[in-house]
Amino acid sequence: SQKIEQNSEALNIQEGKTATLTCNYTNYSPAYLQWYRQDPGRGPVFLLLIRENEKEKRKERLKVTFDTTLKQSLFHITASQPADSATYLCAPLGFQKLVFGTGTRLLVSP
């Protein structure tokens, strides 16, 4: 079955550093992968989409990579800020549906 793995442990970093979150998937080859941000008590909010033929995508301080050989996507936040603290979900495309990972919680301390 399709499986998504995100680090369940929280990632703690200091303000100004680069945060790197990992999303691994197995048993399928998604045509694209989406990343979402979720704050406590709120629904997920879409951030970025990357397609299988794109190696890298950027949006302001965010960067996403997609390695179809490793079956992995990396999500980077550069110059991180306390306001970036949230849970980040990856969602590769399954069979005509998104399959969501459990998310990684990011904590950015001042």
Partner 1 sequence: DAGITQSPRHKVTETGTPVTLRCHQTENHRYMYWYRQDPGHGLRLIHYSYGVKDTDKGEVSDGYSVSRSKTEDFLLTLESATSSQTSVYFCAISESMAGGRGQPQHFGDGTRLSIL
Name the residues that contact partner 1, by CB under 8 A: 4, 8, 31-32, 34, 41-46, 49, 51, 89, 93-103
Cβ-contact 35, 103 below 8 angstroms: no
Q: Which CB, 86 or 89, lies closer to partner 1? A: 89
DSSP class of residue 19 equals E
- Using only C-alpha atoms, the chain has a radius of gyration, in whole angstroms, of 13
Q: How far is the CB of 64 from partner 1 (least distance, A)?
A: 13
Query: In terms of Cα–Cα distance, which of 54, 18, 12 is closest to 34?
Result: 54
Question: Cβ distance 66 to 58 under 8 Å?
Answer: no
Query: What is the Cα–Cα distance from 73 to 25, expressed in whole angstroms?
Result: 9
Least distance in Å: CB of 5 to partner 1?
Answer: 10
Shortest Cβ distance from residue 85 to partner 1 (Å)? Answer: 18
Nearer to partner 1, 31 or 79 (CB): 31
Least distance between partner 1 and beta carbon 4 (Å):
6
CB of 41 or CB of 110, closer to partner 1: 41
Please provide residue 83's backbone torsions phi and psi, each rounded to the nearest 5 degrees: -65, -15
- Indicate the residue among 69 and 95 with the shorter CB distance to partner 1: 95
